[in-house]
């Protein structure tokens, strides 16, 4: 979520930033937000003043009623005078009387209860407009909130401004492209031949985009997950195992909701949803908390399954295991101070690249252009591995700095420099890495003419020392 104050104070600048996203829906929302914000503030100022007066009057009346030093007659006199003042709409005078600045004529004791009843009637009348005002304010505020939740994050100045993902700036590929003396096969041929991937069973159990890993396939994936987690731990990340099924609020916190609600699986009745990425769980670990500055940055890592309906990409990448409903991902996550977040983004991206390098698979970094940033990132790098079988670059990691966008939604703050004023932290997320795709890259890069697959050095320790995957028993 953006800072409402920023929108209020620099609406044209915000619109210019949003224009870089080539999203023609948001400018109208900004205008709507400005209007709602204006109405909200005008209304609140008005009713809060009135409410303040009512609160003071009520308090003063309560105090007066319980006053043991004063006799009933004197009290009645004050109350009658205050009531008269209120009838003339002279709130200040009524307050002055009740709060003891001036006494008036004593009435007789018999009038005590009647005097208070008269005042209460005045106060009741005074409350009429106030309740309606608060109700209206609440309506406006929830409308405002709903609009705010649809505004995407603003791009960082360093992000290249282009509309299409085709313009993403590709870095120089790292690693050696292997020379094949045979035609490299795609994983959807290699997998079934080696008994590693069973597409038929996947479809039988769960339909399109479902798959079963078998034998070496399942073991290789497990090895990769362990390898990824260990790498992250070596880099100082603390490992977590979070729930995969979380409350809907968490998805608002990490900004999948409301925009991408129809791409997430869940139990609407229970208000719980399957996470599309561990980022959802990790972000919300510190929801509603004020963190200690000294403990920042927090570096977390988690392996979870991820669930995505892929509604937006229906019909695309239906072959193989590149785009599936359920996959495994190891996610790095950082909570940082605003000052350090961009340095941390570089660090995190390099860490993801280092994993690719250790697997000895050619990879490249893409600097994502403004039009392809997605909803919550201010800046994003993708890392792609080369897949000689299907002949394409596969996105295996995506590293983003969301700045305060998620932190503001999830209310994750800290006190900067010992001050008393809270500030939102910055949050970063980056895959390190995602398995079905790395599995593809390994199979296709390490395949041999006879259809067997060489195990990358870095993974052998996780597979009992095995160096080759073939049709032998896994």
Q: Would you please indicate which residues are annotated as catalytic (active-site) residues?
A: 308, 323, 395, 398, 437
Output the CA–CA distances (angstroms, integers) from residue 419 to 293, 404, 416, 422, 423, in the order listed.
11, 18, 6, 8, 10
| 56 versus 460: smaller Cβ distance to RNA | 56
Task: Provide the 8-state DSSP code for 180.
Answer: P
Closest CA to 254 of 276, 287, 275, 283: 283
Contacts 24+ apart (CB under 8 A), 81-87: 82/57, 82/119, 83/115, 83/118, 83/119, 83/122, 86/57, 86/119, 86/122, 86/123, 86/126, 87/122
Smallest distance from RNA to CB 448, Å:
42
Number of CB atoms found within 10 A of residue 129's CB: 12
DSSP of 96-146: HHHTTS-------GGGHHHHHHHHHHHHHHHHHHHHHHHHHHHHHHHHHHH
Q: Cα–Cα distance between 107 and 80 in angstroms, integer?
A: 9
| 41 versus 233: smaller Cβ distance to RNA | 41
Smallest distance from RNA to CB 49, Å:
6
The token duo for 409 is: 């939604």
Smallest distance from RNA to CB 203, Å:
28
| 50 versus 93: smaller Cβ distance to RNA | 50
Q: Cα–Cα distance between 294 and 287 in angstroms, integer?
A: 18
Smallest distance from RNA to CB 62, Å:
3
Closest CA to 414 of 406, 426, 403: 426
Q: What length does the chain have?
A: 474
For residue 258, cis peptide bond before it (omega within 30 degrees of 0): yes
| 75 versus 437: smaller Cβ distance to RNA | 75
Smallest distance from RNA to CB 41, Å:
4
Smallest distance from RNA to CB 11, Å:
14
| 34 versus 203: smaller Cβ distance to RNA | 34
Q: Which residues bind RNA (CB under 7 A)?
A: 4-5, 37, 41, 44-45, 48-49, 51-52, 54-56, 58-59, 61-63, 65-68, 120, 123-124, 127, 138, 290, 413, 418, 420-422
The token duo for 57 is: 């009057």
| 269 versus 465: smaller Cβ distance to RNA | 269
């Amino acid at each position: 979520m953006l800072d409402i104050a920023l929108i209020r104070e620099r609406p044209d600048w915000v619109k210019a930033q949003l224009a870089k996203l080539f999203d023609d829906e948001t400018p109208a929302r900004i205008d709507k937000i400005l209007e709602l914000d204006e109405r909200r503030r005008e209304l609140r100022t008005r009713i809060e003043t009135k409410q303040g007066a009512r609160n003071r009057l009520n308090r003063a009346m309560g105090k007066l009623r319980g006053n043991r030093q004063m006799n009933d007659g004197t009290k009645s006199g004050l109350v009658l005078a205050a009531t008269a003042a209120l009838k003339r709409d002279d709130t200040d005078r009524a307050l002055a009387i009740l709060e003891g600045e001036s006494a008036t004529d004593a009435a007789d004791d018999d009038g005590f209860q009647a005097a208070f009843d008269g005042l209460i009637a005045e106060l009741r009348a005074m409350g009429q407009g106030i309740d309606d005002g608060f109700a209206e304010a609440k309506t406006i505020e929830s409308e405002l909130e709903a609009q705010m939740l649809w505004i995407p994050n603003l791009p960082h100045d360093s992000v290249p401004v282009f509309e299409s993902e085709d313009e993403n700036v590709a870095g120089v590929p790292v690693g050696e492209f292997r020379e094949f003396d045979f035609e490299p096969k795609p994983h959807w041929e290699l997998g079934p031949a080696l008994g590693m991937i069973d597409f038929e069973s996947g479809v039988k159990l769960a339909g399109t985009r479902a798959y079963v890993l078998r034998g070496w396939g399942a073991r290789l994936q497990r090895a990769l997950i362990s390898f990824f987690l260990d790498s992250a731990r070596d880099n100082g990340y603390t490992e977590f195992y979070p729930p995969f099924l979380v409350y809907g609020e968490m998805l608002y916190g990490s900004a999948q909701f409301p925009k991408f609600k129809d791409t997430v699986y869940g139990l609407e009745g229970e208000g719980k949803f399957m996470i599309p990425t561990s980022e959802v769980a990790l972000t919300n670990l510190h929801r509603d908390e004020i963190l200690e500055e000294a403990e920042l940055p927090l570096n977390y890592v988690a392996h979870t399954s991820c669930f995505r309906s892929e509604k937006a990409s229906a019909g695309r990448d239906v072959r193989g295991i590149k785009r599936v409903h359920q996959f495994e991902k190891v996610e790095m996550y950082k909570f940082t101070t605003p000052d350090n977040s961009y340095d941390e983004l570089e660090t995190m991206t390099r860490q993801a690249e280092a994993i690719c390098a250790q697997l000895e698979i050619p990879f490249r970094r893409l600097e994502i252009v403004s039009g392809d940033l997605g909803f919550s990132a201010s800046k994003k790098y993708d890392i792609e591995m080369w897949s000689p079988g299907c002949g394409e670059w596969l996105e295996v990691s995506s590293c983003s700095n969301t700045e305060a966008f998620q932190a503001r939604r999830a209310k994750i703050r800290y006190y900067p420099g010992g001050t008393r004023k809270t500030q939102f932290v910055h949050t970063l997320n980056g895959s390190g890495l995602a398995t079905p795709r790395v599995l593809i890259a390994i199979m296709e890069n390490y395949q041999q003419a006879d259809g067997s697959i060489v195990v990358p050095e870095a993974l052998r320790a996780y597979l009992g020392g095995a160096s080759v995957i073939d049709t032998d028993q896994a």
